[in-house]
Chains A and B, each alone.
Chain A
Amino acid sequence: MTDEDGTRHLGDAITALLDGELSDDEAVAARRHLAECPACTAEMAGLGQMRSWLRDLPPVDPPPELSARILGPSGPLSEILGLSGPLSGILGSPLPPGGSAVGPAGPSGPPSRAVAAPPARSRRWAGVGALVGCAAATLVVLGLATPHDPPTSPPVAHFVEAHATAGGGEPVSHLAPAVVPVSFRR
Chain B
Amino acid sequence: MNALLTGGAVVLALVTSVPPPSVRTAGPVTSTPFLVYGAASAATAPDPGPLERARIAAATLTCTGVVDVVWDDAAGHHFEQLSVRAARGTLHVEGGSALKAEAGGARMVRRPGGDWDLLWSGIQSPSPRPNPEEKYELATVTGPEPARVASRPTDLVEVREGAAVRERHFLDTGTQLLLRRERLDTNGRVTRVVAFSSIDFKPEVDVPPSPSRVTDHSPRRMARVSSPATLPGGYHRVDAYKEKRTEQVVYSDGLYDLSVFRQRGSLAAGDLPSSGTPVQVGSGRGWLYSWPGGQVLVWRAGHNVYSLVSEAPVDHLVAAAGALPKGGSSLVDRMRRVCRNLLEPLSA
Interface residues of A (CB under 8 A from B): 20, 24, 27-28, 31, 139, 142-145, 147-186
Contacts and interface: CB of A to CB of B under 8 A. Distances in A.
A145 B265 contact: no
A183 to B, nearest CB: 4
Contact of B269 (A27, A142, A159, A182): A27
Contacts of A180: 5-6, 69, 80, 82, 95-96, 292
Nearest to A150: B265
Nearest to B68: A176
Contacts of B136: none
B298 A165 contact: no
A53 B4 CA distance: 33
Contact of A169 (B94, B241, B257): B257
Contacts of B192: 177
Contacts of A173: 178, 181, 194
Given A27-B269, A147-B337, A147-B341, A181 B95 contact: yes
9 closest A-B pairs by beta carbon, nearest first, are A177-B293, A152-B265, A181-B96, A184-B273, A153-B271, A177-B292, A151-B268, A163-B259, A163-B309
Interface residues of B, number: 89
Interface string B65-87: 00101010000000010101010
Contacts, number: 235
Interface in B103-156: 107, 109, 119-120, 125, 129
Contacts of A161: 5-6, 109, 119
Nearest to A177: B293
B223 interface: no
Interface stretch (B27-35, B229-237, B299-307, B316-324): B299-307
A154 B261 contact: yes
Contacts of A152: 263-268, 305
Interface in B295-348: 296, 298, 300, 303, 305, 307, 309-311, 328, 331, 334-335, 337-339, 341
